[in-house]
């Protein structure tokens, strides 16, 4: 594969033939992605209890992490309202910290509003079913 001829002044030339085989060893793409997801899930489970926000009967755990595949910054909140557990997520690339926090606040607010309105309208739905 690699042939060389050494020319040395005052001596005879020497031809040298050398065979080198280069093999590339790397993890299969599917396997590496699966391992990455497993590591992210394990890290997510460990970090989930990182920051506790409590008050007004609202319990929330928030975490921040970076998605290794896309480079996005992810803020995730797991919270409970009246015993019902919910999650919300905000992600962004090249966002300032306060912009990402505002996105998370909007996501949590949307989930909470939907749950509160649904709880308020359930009796109305029951009344409508009786009227049929």
Q: What is the mean pLDDT of residues 11-15?
A: 68
Average pLDDT over residues 4-17: 68
> Cβ(72)–Cβ(91) under 8 Å?
yes
Mind listing the pLDDT tens digit for each residue in 37-89? 888 888 777 665 555 555 456 788 888 888 888 888 999 999 888 778 899 99
**What digits encode the pLDDT tens for the residues 25-43?**
776 678 878 888 888 888 7
Query: Band of the pLDDT at 13, cuts 50, 70, 90?
Result: low
Res 5 pLDDT > 70: no
Model confidence pLDDT, tens digit, residues 96-106: 888 999 999 99
User: Which pLDDT band holds residue 19 (cuts at 50, 70, 90)?
Assistant: confident
Sheet holding 84-92, edge to edge: 51-55, 58-66, 73-81, 84-92
pTM of the model: 0.54
Task: Report the pLDDT value the prediction gives residue 41, as an integer from 0 to 100.
Answer: 84
Distance, CA of 88 to chain centre: 13
* In contact, 2 and 20? CB cutoff 8 Å: yes
């Amino acid at each position: 594969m690699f042939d060389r001829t050494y020319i040395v002044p005052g001596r005879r030339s020497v031809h040298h033939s050398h065979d080198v085989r280069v093999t590339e060893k790397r993890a299969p793409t599917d396997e590496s992605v699966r391992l990455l997801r497993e590591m992210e899930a394990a890290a997510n489970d460990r970090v989930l209890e990182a920051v506790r926000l409590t008050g007004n009967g609202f319990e929330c755990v928030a975490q921040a992490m970076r998605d290794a595949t896309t480079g996005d910054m992810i803020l995730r909140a797991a919270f409970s309202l009246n015993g019902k557990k919910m999650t919300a997520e905000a992600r962004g690339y090249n966002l300032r910290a306060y912009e990402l926090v505002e996105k998370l606040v909007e996501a949590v607010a949307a989930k909470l509003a939907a749950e509160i309105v649904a709880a308020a309208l359930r009796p109305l739905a029951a009344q409508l079913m009786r009227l049929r």
